[in-house]
Amino acid sequence: DQQVKQNSPSLSVQEGRISILNCDYTNSMFDYFLWYKKYPAEGPTFLISISSIKDKNEDGRFTVFLNKSAKHLSLHIVPSQPGDSAVYFCAANLPNDYKLSFGAGTTVTVRA
Amino acid sequence: DTEVTQTPKHLVMGMTNKKSLKCEQHMGHRAMYWYKQKAKKPPELMFVYSYEKLSINESVPSRFSPECPNSSLLNLHLHALQPEDSALYLCASSQVQVNTEAFFGQGTRLTVV
């Protein structure tokens, strides 16, 4: 049973524009959320995280928004760059749990 | 050093072979993980070691045997695997605390023939 869902398998965006990636979760007990980026033949690389006590976290071009009532989070990348072309995974933690529950991933393609 | 190093990068093994995957980190992390990722699927947790002791086994078949010889090394011993075990095996490490990011290695692409 997939508790973290990324319903858009792919996203194409023009260079310089905003990329918005969405993630929904079903378990209201999740209290920590992370975004990872993955290039082919490489492991996932941590991008940004957010605790459930916050609704926004920003790091450079990356901003994550959390809407707990909707059990929804999103990652905004502004401006999008060609090097951002990768698979992006949303992940979530339960309290006092090391296990990361991953979404299926969204493949982002940034067009020149 | 923020790297998690996995060897080998690629491995092809027969169903009767015994092989080992290796993982090393020098970030002082005392939690280490094995994940399995099938094509077009998210990574799935297999094992968690905390302070060199196995703390989580996600009901993984015994043909996969983890080992944590010291705080920097994590091994995954493989024996009598099936073709459906072919996947990308990812090692990760983190601080021993919840709500922290895990650092992943580049993975070992395993093919069982």
Contacts of A42 in chain B (CB under 8 A): 106-107
Judged by a CB distance cut-off of 8 A, whether residue A53 touches chain B is no
pLDDT of residue A13: 98
Judged by a CB distance cut-off of 8 A, whether residue B86 touches chain A is no
Instruction: Name the minimum distance, in Å, from the CA of B49 to any CA of chain A.
Output: 10
Taking residue A68's Cβ as centre, other Cβ atoms within 10 Å add up to: 15
Judged by a CB distance cut-off of 8 A, whether residue A102 touches chain B is yes
Show the tokens assigned to B104.
């992943």
Instruction: Give percent of chain A above pLDDT 70.
Output: 99
DSSP 3-state assignment of B76?
A: strand
Scan residues 74-93 of A and list those with Cβ closer than 8 Å to B.
89, 93
Which of these, A91, A109, A107, A77, lies nearest to A3 by C-alpha position?
A: A91
Rounded Cα distance, A107 and A109, in Å: 7
Given an 8 Å threshold on Cβ–Cβ distance, is A42 in contact with B101? no
- Across the range A10-19, mean pLDDT stands at 97
Q: One digit per residue, pLDDT tens: chain B, 113 residues?
A: 568 999 999 999 999 999 999 999 999 999 999 999 998 888 999 999 999 999 999 999 999 999 999 999 999 999 999 999 999 999 999 998 778 899 999 999 999 99
Contacts of B4 in chain A (CB under 8 A): 43
Rounded Cα distance, B77 and B79, in Å: 7
Rounded Cα distance, B97 and B113, in Å: 39
Q: What is the pLDDT of residues A22-47, one digit of tens each?
A: 999 999 999 999 999 999 878 899 99
Q: What is the pLDDT of residues A46-81, one digit of tens each?
A: 999 999 999 999 999 999 999 999 999 999 999 999
pLDDT of residue B2: 63
CA distances from B87 to B2, B9, B17, B98 (A): 25, 12, 16, 27
